[in-house]
């Protein structure tokens, strides 16, 4: 693999930028949106709620005509597809309005727990119901008349934090979110940039406290950088494919998003930052196992599938602790990583809160070509494609269409980088 690649705009920032543009009073310009179906679902939901969103004449961005006066009750069920970010963030947004919203998705979404979002929103005054006692989608959200709360996060989750803060924009009084382990800070960064009355305090021991008062946002322009979670696939691929020298351009590497680089550095990978927003990765034949601790997981939870592939080619054992959140992603990623890497001949064992991978680097050579499945999970699909590149013989990934969730151009970029 050689050359350069630019990954789609950061998915997490894209969701949040669209939602904040919808409530900002005026016309906002959002450039570089993620091209995946996840973000398209958020845009479609906002359109259903009365927010005009159009492509700019140059095709390089979107215009969002925002303001609370535009927002209205959607006429039908809002379908978020496979997007957990969409359903959780939209629940927080809709909690601030006195109308009814029904949020539903595909079979994967129907299995994902929503109580971690619904419970704090209920405490703020929203009425939320769903299947299994309000725990599972579809969710019905009737909002309005919210009051701020002081909330200690029981599970590190940027999505839950964001839902609470979005609701807090409309709440009476101060909303406080206390994070014992800091998570992605995109929501609070964007809120601060666009006029919200918000403050962030670092706590002794590494925690963080976010305080938000009811706020009106001003319109804005944003250029969204590349998604580090997508960049991780290319970086790992370059590290494990002989002869590789690859540059990934314009990647967001801010707080709580570059944790995968720390893990790869601990494994001995040849990866360097180029300027503020680019990465260069080269083949790294001497990777070795490492222990990924629980406090690191919030900063790399989405990158674990492809980091497990790097671990499969390393010498020794790599362990991931405190990663129970993997079981409630688009698939049960502990189970899917275990089964699909095993098909390549890798020894992977699930644990109570994560998994361990015994690499082939010092004990058995390359992976063997395999027929594997995505399980409808875009990150599993792309991780298995990366593994296939380092395997001896051909491989097949069933369910490849899942990649469109976040990176529909992945296959085209892969062909281009491999044929250089």
| pLDDT at residue number 241 | 94
pLDDT in tens, 320-360: 999 988 887 778 999 999 999 999 999 999 998 899 999 98
pLDDT in tens, 287-319: 999 999 999 998 899 999 999 999 999 999 999
| pLDDT at residue number 329 | 79
Same domain as 243, residue 170: no
* Cα 205 to Cα 226: distance, rounded to the nearest angstrom: 31
Q: What is the mean pLDDT of residues 250-269?
A: 92
Q: The pTM is what?
A: 0.91
- Contacts of residue 114, defined as CB under 8 A and 6 or more positions apart, other chains included, come to 87, 88, 91, 130, 134, 135, 136, 137, 139
Indicate the range of 181-195, 337-351, 364-378, 402-416 predicted with least confidence. 364-378
Domain contains 36: yes
Domain contains 2: no
What percent of the chain has pLDDT above 90?
A: 85
Say whether pLDDT at 243 is over 80: yes
CATH assignment of the domain containing 28 = 3.65.10.10
* Cα 217 to Cα 200: distance, rounded to the nearest angstrom: 18
Same domain as 232, residue 213: no
pLDDT in tens, 115-147: 999 999 999 999 999 999 889 999 999 998 999
Same domain as 174, residue 266: no
Say whether pLDDT at 15 is over 80: yes
* Cα 155 to Cα 298: distance, rounded to the nearest angstrom: 10
Same domain as 351, residue 284: yes
Residue finishing a domain among 221, 248, 273:
221
Phi and psi, residue 202, nearest 5°: -80, 140
* Cα 263 to Cα 307: distance, rounded to the nearest angstrom: 8
Same domain as 310, residue 205: no
Say whether pLDDT at 363 is over 60: no
Total structural domains within the chain: 2
Q: What is the mean pLDDT of residues 73-94?
A: 96
Closest among 291, 292, 287 to 310, alpha carbons compared? 287
| pLDDT at residue number 272 | 96
Domain contains 1: no
The owner of tokens 């590149």 is 389
Domain contains 232: yes
* Cα 15 to Cα 2: distance, rounded to the nearest angstrom: 31
Q: How confident is the model at residue 1 (pLDDT cuts 50, 70, 90)?
A: confident
> CA geometry: angle at 10 spanning 165 and 190, to 5°?
35
Containing domain of residue 130, as a range? 7-221
Residue finishing a domain among 189, 221, 253:
221
Same domain as 280, residue 196: no
Same domain as 137, residue 86: yes
Same domain as 407, residue 334: yes
Domain contains 352: yes
**Helix, strand or coil, per DSSP, at residue 201:** strand
Question: With contact defined as beta carbons under 8 Å apart, do 240 and 392 qualify?
Answer: no
Q: What is the mean pLDDT of residues 160-188?
A: 95
Same domain as 112, residue 178: yes
- Contacts of residue 360, defined as CB under 8 A and 6 or more positions apart, other chains included, come to 312, 313, 345, 346, 366, 367
- Is 302 annotated in the active site? yes
Residue finishing a domain among 187, 221, 255:
221
Closest among 406, 416, 382, 379 to 4, alpha carbons compared? 416
Say whether pLDDT at 419 is over 80: no
Given 302, 315, 332, 377, the catalytic residue: 302
Mean pLDDT of the chain: 94
| pLDDT at residue number 256 | 78
Question: With contact defined as beta carbons under 8 Å apart, do 172 and 214 qualify?
Answer: yes
| pLDDT at residue number 420 | 53
Same domain as 168, residue 245: no
Same domain as 135, residue 80: yes
Same domain as 29, residue 98: yes
Say whether pLDDT at 365 is over 70: no
Tell me the chain's radius of gyration from C-alpha atoms: 21
């Amino acid at each position: 693999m050689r050359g350069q690649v630019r990954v789609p705009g950061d998915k997490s920032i894209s969701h949040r930028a669209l939602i904040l543009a919808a409530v900002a009073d005026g016309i906002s310009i959002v450039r570089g949106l993620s091209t995946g179906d996840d973000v398209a679902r958020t845009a479609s939901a906002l359109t259903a709620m009365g927010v005009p969103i159009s492509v700019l004449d140059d095709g390089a961005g979107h215009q969002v005509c925002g303001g609370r006066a535009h927002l209205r009750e959607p006429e039908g069920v809002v379908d978020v597809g496979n997007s957990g970010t969409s359903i959780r963030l939209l629940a927080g947004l809709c909690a601030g309005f006195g109308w009814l919203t029904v949020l539903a998705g595909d079979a994967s979404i129907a299995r994902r727990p929503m109580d971690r979002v619904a419970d704090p929103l209920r405490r703020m005054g929203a009425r939320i119901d769903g299947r299994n006692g309000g725990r599972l989608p579809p969710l019905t959200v009737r909002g309005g008349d919210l009051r701020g709360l002081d909330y200690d996060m029981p599970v590190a989750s940027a999505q839950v934090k964001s839902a609470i803060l979005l609701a807090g924009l409309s709440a009476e009084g101060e909303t406080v979110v206390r994070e014992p382990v800091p998570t992605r800070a995109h929501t609070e960064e964007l809120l601060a940039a666009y006029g919200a009355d918000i403050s962030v305090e670092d706590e002794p021991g590494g925690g963080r406290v976010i305080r938000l008062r009811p706020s009106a946002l001003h319109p804005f322009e944003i250029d969204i950088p590349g998604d580090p979670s997508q960049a991780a696939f290319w970086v790992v691929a370059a590290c494990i494919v002989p002869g590789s020298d690859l540059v990934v351009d314009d990647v967001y590497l801010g707080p709580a998003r570059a944790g995968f680089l720390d893990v790869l550095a601990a494994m001995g990978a040849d990866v360097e930052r180029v300027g503020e927003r680019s990465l260069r990765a080269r083949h790294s034949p001497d990777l070795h196992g490492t222990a990924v601790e629980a406090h690191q997981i919030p900063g790399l939870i989405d990158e674990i599938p492809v980091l497990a592939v790097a671990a499969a080619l390393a010498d020794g054992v790599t362990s991931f602790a405190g990663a129970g959140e993997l079981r409630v992603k688009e698939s049960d990623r502990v189970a899917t990583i275990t089964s699909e890497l095993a098909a390549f001949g890798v020894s992977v064992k699930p644990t109570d809160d994560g998994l361990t991978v015994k690499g082939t680097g010092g004990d058995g050579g390359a992976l063997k070509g395999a027929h594997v499945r995505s399980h409808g999970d875009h990150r599993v699909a792309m991780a298995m494609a990366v593994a296939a590149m380092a395997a001896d013989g051909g491989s097949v990934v069933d369910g490849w269409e899942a990649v469109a969730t976040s990176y529909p151009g992945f296959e085209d970029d892969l062909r281009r980088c491999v044929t250089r």
